[in-house]
Structure 1
Amino acid sequence: MQPTATVLVYSDDSNTREQVRLATGRRPAPDVPTVEFVECATPAAVLSELDKGGIDICVLDGEAVPMGGMGLCRQIKDEVFNCPPVLLLIGRPQDAWLATWSRADAAVTLPADPVEFAAALAGLLRQKRLQSA
């Protein structure tokens, strides 16, 4: 049986969550595990899922309402022990500095370009695998 990675996707917009699922497919690259998604539409749901454990990567929508993914990223980096890597979805390339402020591990712009998104997600999965080894 192949390993799977659990990816949490946070956005109040179901279309954004769907973009992430479609851009990822079953596996973002041949050398990383297949992906299972946990979808969250509220910050409270994100915190609840992280408390349960088992999340390998978080994908957070920087444009989410009422709490954007940037603020949520900074919060979980401060509050969650062994916080998983975070891929932040940003509205404009100029917002990359905010992604750095939030301590995101990677950032891509919306709408999610499937090639760019899959490459960023695969990169985080590879880093996670190296850290676990």
Structure 2
Amino acid sequence: MQSSATVLVYSDDANTREQVRLAAGRRPAADVPPVEFVECATLPAVLKALEQGGVDACVLDGETVPAGGMGVCRQIKDEIYDCPPVLLLMGRPQDAWLATWSRAEAAVTLPVEPVELAEALASLLRERLSSGV
């Protein structure tokens, strides 16, 4: 098993980034490695972090302004080679179709529900790490 997994968290709201960190904890599930977080508040920071590599999963806030997580997800899926899987934070369940449009692998609604977020993140990490990337 990999010694740790890197999770990028994108939101312009420091409180939302903190909610994600607290909900995922040090290890979102017993069968995935401990996680280290890279926090980004702007789109340029997200792109720089992804271009540097080493990110195993992304959690993107769909409510971030001016560049919302759904649009950012679609952009990185087009622009980043072997883009890590994305967990999208949606403002409302009715936005699920936008999560599909953005090509996110998973989506949960805000406010963050710890068990739901941890399970979704762990699933993405299992898939990514088992593929040998």
Give the TM-score of the pair, scaled to structure 1: 0.97
- 1:124 match: 124
- 1:115 match: 115
**Partner AA of 2:27 in structure 1:** R
- 2:86 match: 86
- 1:74 match: 74
1:63 aligned onto 2:42: no
Give the TM-score of the pair, scaled to structure 2: 0.97
- 1:105 match: 105
Query: Which blocks of at least 5 consecutive residues in structure 2 are unaligned?
Result: none
The answer to whether the 8 Å contact 2:57/2:86 transfers is: yes
- 1:131, CA displacement in angstroms? 1.3
1:31 aligned onto 2:31: yes
1:48 aligned onto 2:48: yes
Where 1:37 maps in the other structure, the secondary structure is strand
**Partner AA of 1:18 in structure 2:** E
Runs of 4+ that moved beyond 6 A: none
Q: Give the aligned CA root-mean-square deviation in angstroms.
A: 1.3
Distance 2:5 2:123 in 1: 13
Distance 2:28 2:84 in 1: 18
**Partner AA of 2:91 in structure 1:** G
Distance 1:32 1:123 in 2: 9
Distance 2:131 2:93 in 1: 29
Number of equivalences: 133
- 1:56, CA displacement in angstroms? 0.4
Where 1:132 maps in the other structure, the secondary structure is coil
**Partner AA of 2:83 in structure 1:** C
- 1:2, CA displacement in angstroms? 6.4
- 1:21 match: 21
**Partner AA of 2:50 in structure 1:** L
- 1:119, CA displacement in angstroms? 0.3
Where 2:29 maps in the other structure, the secondary structure is coil
